[in-house]
């Protein structure tokens, strides 16, 4: 039997159930770490299936806890699994799992927010982001192209596959939103997990957040998060897990979301610039979109620059933020970048900061005003 077939047919040996492990190691869920466990292996298998075919894949799991999802990932025939867990109480149970899957499971006791995933896997896991890049590497010893025919090489070059590297996790709710925003920024900069190429993610979120991430134009859930995720990725809201499936039961249902980074982002501007425009547009969700756009500019030139930006972008100012498509946002961000290029001080302008400053000035002025008011007249 070849090595790859051996990997593909791997199954974990009989082990104590997750429930038994929880009892064995006295793993009471910590509210502070948003711990809600999945004990049903059919459900964890279903989550893992959303990631696609994991045979011989490299995987990073976020927050394995007692290891239910970890077992399903290992049973999917992965080559290599790194788990990152913050809570030391889970490490002995994970070691048990590691012994049952020799050479496959690496345990990192640490925080996913600071974990350097770019150092977590060998460089040869990488695949180039786009076809052109792959074509450039065509004559070099391209990983995965050794010993294949010329026509197979050409086919590989044209399809520009993502790497066989996945991030999977039943995330703690208190970490999930900042983490996906961090990873979206990494995606835009091709850093962190995306130094390896278009690393795919399969993650759980609070149901409402999952709906926002995948919401289409004009839907009720369309928000800042929808635009930020969808200009960089293909986002698929796979299915909802009822809260009662978790132990302890959280107050909300949970959505499983799959992300595939696009080879070319739909908006080709720095992440922070896109984020600034999108944030300002959604500041007044129910108003016409030009109201939020006005907030990108200081008082003195607000009306003039808003008009210029809307005209350059050719976007109807009376559309509501939720009605704007990704191409609308692309046109708006490009127009804003153009204005910033001719007036760089706009880049650092933040309406919120101006409001805070005014509020502060008013506050510090008040005692003098009061004094003047109460000073008896001549």
Q: Which residues bind ligand SAM (CB under 6 A)?
A: 33-38, 63-66, 68-69, 84-87, 90, 111-113, 170, 172, 175
Q: Retrieve residue 315's tokens.
A: 């976007």
- Residue 36, annotated as binding a ligand: yes
Least distance in angstroms from the C-beta of 329 to ligand SAM: 31
Least distance in angstroms from the C-beta of 65 to ligand SAM: 3
Q: Whose CB is nearest to ligand SAM?
A: 63
Least distance in angstroms from the C-beta of 35 to ligand SAM: 5
- If the CB atoms of residues 66 and 128 are measured against ligand SAM, the closer one turns out to be 66
Least distance in angstroms from the C-beta of 18 to ligand SAM: 7
Least distance in angstroms from the C-beta of 258 to ligand SAM: 16
Sign of CA dihedral 262, 263, 264, 265: positive
- Residue 53, annotated as binding a ligand: no
- Residue 27, annotated as binding a ligand: no
Least distance in angstroms from the C-beta of 309 to ligand SAM: 39
- Residue 85, annotated as binding a ligand: yes
- If the CB atoms of residues 207 and 312 are measured against ligand SAM, the closer one turns out to be 207
- If the CB atoms of residues 121 and 297 are measured against ligand SAM, the closer one turns out to be 121
Least distance in angstroms from the C-beta of 219 to ligand SAM: 27
- If the CB atoms of residues 119 and 150 are measured against ligand SAM, the closer one turns out to be 119
- If the CB atoms of residues 87 and 130 are measured against ligand SAM, the closer one turns out to be 87
- Residue 332, annotated as binding a ligand: no
Give the C-alpha separation, 362 to 351, whole Å: 17
- Residues shown for the chain: 378
- If the CB atoms of residues 92 and 327 are measured against ligand SAM, the closer one turns out to be 92
HSE on the CB side for 250, CA within 13 Å? Answer: 26
Q: SS3 letters for the chain?
A: CCHHHHHHCCCCCCCCCHHHHHHHCCCCCCHHHCCCEECCHHHHHHHHHCCCCCCCCEEEEECCCCCHHHHHHHHCCCCEEEEEECCHHHHHHHHHHHHHCCCCEEEEECCCCCCCHHHCCCHHHCCCCCHHHHHHHHHCCCCCCCCCCHHHHHHHHHHCCCCCEEEEECCCHHHHHHHHHHHHHHHHHCCHHHHHCCCEEEEEEEHHHHHHHHCCCCCCCCCHHHHHHHCCEEEEEEEEECHHHEECCCCCCEEEEEEEECCCCCCCCCHHHHHHHHHHHHHHCCCCHHHHHHCCCCHHHHHHHHHHHHHHHCCCCCCCHHHCCHHHHHHHHHHHHHHHHHCHHHHHCCHHHHHHHHHHHHHHHHHHHHHHHHCCCC
- Residue 237, annotated as binding a ligand: no
Name which of 361, 223, 220, 356 is nearest 283 in CA terms: 223
Torsion angle of alpha carbons 47, 49, 54, 58, nearest 10°? -20
Least distance in angstroms from the C-beta of 34 to ligand SAM: 6
- If the CB atoms of residues 119 and 123 are measured against ligand SAM, the closer one turns out to be 119
- If the CB atoms of residues 241 and 305 are measured against ligand SAM, the closer one turns out to be 241
Residue numbering of the annotated binding site: 36, 38, 63, 85, 111, 170
Residue numbering of the annotated binding site for S-adenosyl-L-methionine: 36, 38, 63, 85, 111, 170
């Amino acid at each position: 039997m070849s090595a790859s077939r051996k990997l593909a047919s791997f199954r974990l040996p009989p082990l104590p159930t997750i429930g038994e492990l929880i009892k064995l190691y006295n793993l009471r869920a910590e509210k502070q770490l948003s711990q809600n466990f999945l004990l049903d292996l059919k459900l964890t298998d279903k989550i893992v299936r959303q990631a696609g075919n994991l045979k011989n894949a490299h995987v990073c799991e976020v927050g394995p806890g007692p290891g239910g999802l970890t077992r399903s990932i290992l049973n999917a025939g992965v080559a290599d699994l790194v788990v990152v867990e913050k809570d030391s109480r889970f490490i002995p149970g994970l070691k048990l799992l590691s012994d049952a899957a020799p050479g496959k499971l690496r345990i990192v006791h640490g925080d996913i927010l600071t974990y350097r995933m770019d150092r977590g896997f060998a460089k040869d896991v990488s695949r180039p982001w786009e076809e052109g890049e792959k074509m450039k590497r065509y004559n070099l010893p391209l990983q995965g192209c050794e010993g294949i025919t010329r026509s197979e090489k050409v086919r590989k070059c044209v399809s520009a596959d993502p790497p066989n590297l996945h991030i999977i996790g039943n995330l703690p709710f208190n970490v999930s939103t900042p983490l996906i925003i961090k990873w979206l920024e990494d995606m835009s900069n091709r850093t962190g997990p995306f130094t390896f190429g278009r690393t795919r993610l399969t993650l759980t979120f609070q149901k409402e957040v999952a709906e926002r991430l995948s919401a289409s134009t004009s839907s009720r859930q369309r928000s800042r998060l929808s635009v930020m995720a969808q200009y960089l990725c293909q986002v698929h809201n796979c299915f909802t897990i009822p809260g009662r499936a978790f132990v302890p039961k959280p107050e909300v249902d949970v959505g499983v979301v799959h992300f595939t980074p696009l080879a070319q982002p739909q908006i080709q501007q720095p992440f922070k610039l896109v984020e600034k425009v999108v944030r300002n547009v959604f500041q007044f969700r129910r108003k016409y979109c030009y109201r939020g756009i006005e907030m990108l500019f200081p008082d003195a030139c607000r009306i003039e620059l808003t008009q210029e930006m809307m005209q350059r972008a050719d976007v109807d100012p009376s559309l509501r933020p939720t009605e704007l498509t990704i191409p609308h946002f692309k046109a708006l961000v490009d127009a804003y970048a153009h204005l910033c290029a001719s007036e760089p001080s706009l880049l650092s302008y933040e309406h919120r900061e101006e409001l805070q400053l005014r509020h502060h000035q008013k506050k510090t002025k008040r005692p003098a005003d009061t004094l003047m008011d109460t000073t008896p007249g001549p």
